[in-house]
Every structure is written in structure tokens, then in C-alpha cells.
Structure 1
Amino acid sequence: MNDSEYEELVASLGESGALGAGWRGAFLRTPRSLFVPERIWLAAGPSGYRQITERDDPEAWRATVNADAPVVTQLDDGEESGPGVATSSVSMPSLVGRMLAHLDVRDGTRLSVLEIGSGWTTGLLCSRVGARRVVSVEIDPQVAGRARKALALAGHAPVLVVGDGTRGFPEQAPYDRVSSTAAVHRVPPAWVAQTKPGGVIVTPWGTPFCNAGLLKLHVREGEEAEGRFVDSVSFMWVRGQRPGAPADAPPSGEARYGPSAINPESVLESVHSAFAVGLHLPTVRYRVVWDESDPRTTRRLVLWDGDGSRATVFLHDWKATDTVRQTGPRNVWDEATAARGWWESEGEPELTRFGVTATADTQHVWLDRPSRVVSTWRVS
């Protein structure tokens, strides 16, 4: 590996403002290449990947490792015969820098950190706060094994646990900071319970409809945490909270047809509108599908929940009487339309105006202040 390439990457992160105060040295001391396996996958088309190896294509491998982009390191949880879904990666460097900045680590402080996930971020944390103060929990034994070897090469030996990160690691609790490199939809109560009052939790957070927020929580007495979304990011889900597979089964029950009250594309016009819709429809997912032979007239939006409700909305001629087709107990497109209308009526707030209050059994998402609750659901 040409170290100058990595140094150029770190320099560009500093110039862009992606590195928080004090993190440049940790990045320089912790080469990303140590934590990228010999075999990686590059995007090939809208929904596929092609494999490359450092041995067979070292130039492409180096370019990928030194780019400000995520590196896919595993498909299908390591199953060779899977459908080709990315399940592990080395995160995008600029996002890692921004996330670490929100942990509020200051030189001279003696902070203990619980990290969910193992790899490059673990090494960065070890380099900044000391390996003896870092506990890393990784659910995948293969990923954990690679991380252990890479950390050793970097000169670090943190506590590395193979297990479910949503349960934390009570044996070393309480922690001053909790950092996750996997997204959650429900803040695990264990993270709050294992963090000292006054501590900070930083985690990607989203809904099945829009996985887009970076949440920064401050822990209070009584195992309660509260805070705001501080950035727009997208990370892979923790395994136990992954949304279900796409709904390929044909819709059942009597179909209800009608026009759309809004341009269907307005629901997805920005990450902020999609984020707000997801808050109101916390069990609903979507995908855009089309017939490649005639994408202009067949492109459509499909929404579904886990209980048999489904909506198909054609994106052309959306005022036609048969544009919307809804089946199941819920009219999920009508609900999405109402959620989009709510977002507009509130002045089209960006996701950073939202926040979360997390307790041992409930999670409240609010707009601007905790008293303006948008949605509530149980977490246990």
C-alpha cells in the first residue's frame, strides 16, 4: 500500500471539515487498508456487485480503499449461495469522521467506549482513547476474527466480544460513550442502561422506509436518554433489526383503486420528506419498480407493511382513476399521502429538527422539542 494515498485521503477529510478536533492523528496512525480484507465487492449496476481481490486487481483494490466511499466486505452474511445483498462494510471515511466528532472526545480525558461493530472504527477509537478503554461487540465471528488480526497489526488489543451488540457488554459497564456503526430503528435499552449519566450515545437510526439519521443521545439518570438527529447518514442495520425481505408475493384481498392526491414522487423528493413519512409509517417499506422495456409508463412505487397491506402507485398520470391500487387492511398510500401533507404543513422540517427520547421500554420521536411527539413505539 502506498501510504501517500492514504495520507492524501486524510488530508482531504481534514480540508472538508469531516474530521473533528483531535482525530487527524488517530486517522494517520490507523491505516484503513489494515481493516479491508483481500476480497471486496464493487457495485455493478443498480442491484449487484462484482468481486475483486487485492492480488488480482491491486490497482482497483487500492483505489477503492483510499476513496471516500464505503467498501463492501461481505455479502449475505458470508453465505456463498445467497442473493448478493451487502451485509458488512468498512464505512465511508468522511462519515466515520463526522460520527466520531459527535462522541465529544477531548484530549486528556479518560473515557471508556462501547463500540457496536468491529473494524477500522475500533482501531481509530483505540488510537484516540487507548485500547484498554475500548470494548467492541461484533455479531459475526468471521468479521470479528479479521478485526482482531487487523487491530493486532495496528498495535491494539481492545476487549473484542463476539455477540449481539444490541445487548451491549454489561461486564465492563458503565461506559462514557457508546458508538455504533450499524443502524437501529429502536434504541436498545441496554445501551442506555450501560452508559453513565452524562454519557453520550451516537448511532445511525432510521425506519424501514428511510434509514437516514445520525442520532446523538445524552444519557440521564433513571436509564433515560434524549437527543437530536445531528446528520444525515445511511448505514447497514444491526442484524436483529433488519427490515424483512421485499414483498414479492402477489397482493391478496379485494383491490381498491383511485387517483393519487399528490404527485407520488413528492414523498421521496428529499431525505427529509422520506424521513418524516417513515416516522408516521414505522412498519412500512417501499421500492421503485419498472418494466425496463418501457420505464416511462410502467415506473411505479410499491409500499407494503408486514401484515398484508400493500399499495402500488404508478408515477405517470397520477391523477388517473386507476393510478393507485391498495390491498389489505390498511390503505398505506393514503397514510403516506397524509404523512407527506403533515410534513409540508410543519414547514418541511429537515431531519435535524427531530429528536428521540428513549426509555427502558418506549421510544418517542419528536419535532423541535420533546413535548411535540410525532410517533411512539415500544422497544422491548
Structure 2
Amino acid sequence: MKGSAPHGQTSVPALFHDGRTAGERAVRAVADAGSGRMTILAESGAPLAIWPLKDVRQVRDPGSKGHGVFHLSGTDEARLVVEAARDVAALAALCPNRKASTTPPGTVRRIVVSGLAAIGAILLILFVILPRLSDTIARMIPPDREEQIGTTVVAQVERAFGARGEDAMCSTAEGDAALQKMRDRLIADLDVPYDVKIRVLDSGMVNAFAAPGGHVVIFSALIYAAESPEEVAGILAHELGHVASRDPLRLTLRAAGSAGILSLVIGDFAGGAAAAVIAEQVASAAYTREAEAAADRFAFDMLAAAELPSEAIAQFFDRLSEEHGDMNGVLEYVASHPSLAGRAEAARSAETQGDAFAPVLSEEEWQALRAICDWPEDDMAEEADTALREDE
């Protein structure tokens, strides 16, 4: 008597998954509107489960091949599969809440709490665990390996920020000689386990950064913004302070860890986003305020040893503040860099210029450094022709 029963009652054959074992059992589901219950009976007639009809839900299950699937609200571990469409309709007619939401009470709250916990865990990793772990790993990396890391980082920054793409490092015989002269005067007493390598990147950003392994990159726009070679020397001395403290290595390790987490979140397993994050963070050099202040103090000592004026870097900061604004009040205390006004004041207080002051570069050398990114006319014309051909 398939599906036939007294009014308000139906009995249909079904398959039952108890949620505890992998197999399924042939059963008979007897639903009685009078008692408000569905009894699931084994072939022997023994009851396997009793479900209140008001708590029975009907769902679509891709694995059921279009059959009716019923389960108890709040759990989908045990399932009742009814194959015949007529039996599905008969059983469904006695389940008044079969289409009600199957989301257990408090599910949204649990999702929100879990999401906040996940965000908190990521923030803990990014801002507490990664910095401490980076400091530890940095002490374990040998200088030759650090130099290799720095070479890779500089190449990433060159691709990301260079105005001429992958061929963005500037070099002329006269400009290189001027930069070498400035470098030699500053690092005469610098004790680091690798050779200091200073290059100029053709970019419109007023910036400079240090990379692991003694690499320092000055953006061409910073040289153009400077009014004297002593201003550039002051900025260079600050970056050399980071080199001496191995700050760039710690920052790179932290950026790499952050990029790895980003890659997992957005699914960028090819590493393109990771490389971009590392390049951006190293180029922006978001060190701690303590590291920035320490680099400034190092720069003042280096300028004093070279008998160069710290007043020059103070003037440079003053102009940047006038042209681009400064951070005051509470913003100064949440920013990684101290305010420009505060740095200018500290530079003036240092008074590093000696009695035997001599310019770090002659006027001719200074102009050669400023022209280090003036690419030859034929190179520029060839580059423009190539761009036009690519557009066509």
C-alpha cells in the first residue's frame, strides 16, 4: 500500500542515512498529522527515529538525483531520501515548516564572531608575530645571502616604480663619479659586512630607500627637488643609517610574510601580488618611529664625521613640509615617520658642520649628478618609436 494511509497520515518507502554510519537503510516513513510526528521504521518494524513534523525540513540535495530529501531542523546529519514524486508530495503535505530556514539559531552571530576572530588572528600575525619573527630571522641570515635578497628587491622596485620600465636605473660616467665621491666621503668610517651600492632610479617620486645587503636607491625626483648636494648627502646618510642597522632586511622579511598571507587570501599563488607588495613596502620604507629616529641620529653622526652640515637636510624637510604639508598632532604619533618639522628641528640642533667645511661635490659634479637620468636623444627617440609600434 505505497503511500496510502488514513486521512492525515501517510506511509511511504524511503532510504535512511542515520548520520553515524556510511551506509543507507531501506525504511518506511510514517507521518501522522494527529500526533505531529514522523516515525522512521526499519524493515523489521523497529523504530529508528521519531521526528516532530514541525521540525522536518525539505532540501534540494545535488546527490539525490532529484529525489525528496528531508532532515531534522538544526542538523542535516540524518537524512531521509524519498524517491517517488507522489510519495514526496504526500510526505511534504504533512510537514508544515518544510520550507522554513534551516539555519540553526545563532548561526549569524557565530559567523560574525568567527569572522572577527579570523581578522584578529590575521592582524596579530601581521603586526605582532611577523615583526618579532622577522627580527629573529634577520639575525640568522649571512651577509652574502642578504646581498642576494637586496638585489632581488631592487629589481622588483625598479619594475614597479621606474619611469622606463625594467631599464630604469640611471648611469652616466660623470654622474656615477659624482655619486661615488659622495658615497666615499660619507662611508669612510662605516662598518658593514658588505659593499655599499648606491644607484639612481628614474622615477617621478621624491623618495629614497635602502634595500637589504647595502643597496641604496635614490629616486631621480629627489635629486631634482634638492637645491644642493649636501641635501642629497643628508638623505643618503639617513638611508645608510638603516643599512647599518639592517632595518631593510627586517622590513623585507616582514613584507614577504605579509605578501604570503595576501596571496593565500586572494589566491595569487603565482606570486605577482606578493612581489608587488614587497616592492611597495620596501620602497615606502615604513619603518617604526624608533628606527626612523635612530637612522636620523646615525645620519647626524655620519655628517659630523664628514664635516657636512645637517642644516642642509633641515632645509630640505622645510621645503617638503611647505610644498606637501606635514603631520601634526595625533597623526604624528600614529605615523611611522616623525613629522618633517620635528626632523628639521633635530637636524638643526645637531650642528654637524665642521670648521673645515668643503662642499661634498663641486658645482660641475653636482650638475653631473642632476643630469644622471638625462637619457640621450637617440635613446629617447628609439624608445618612442618602439612604443608607437607596440600600440599599432
Same fold flag (TM > 0.5)? no
Bigger Rg over Cα: 2
Bigger proportion of residues as helix: 2
Q: TM bucket by the smaller chain?
A: under 0.3
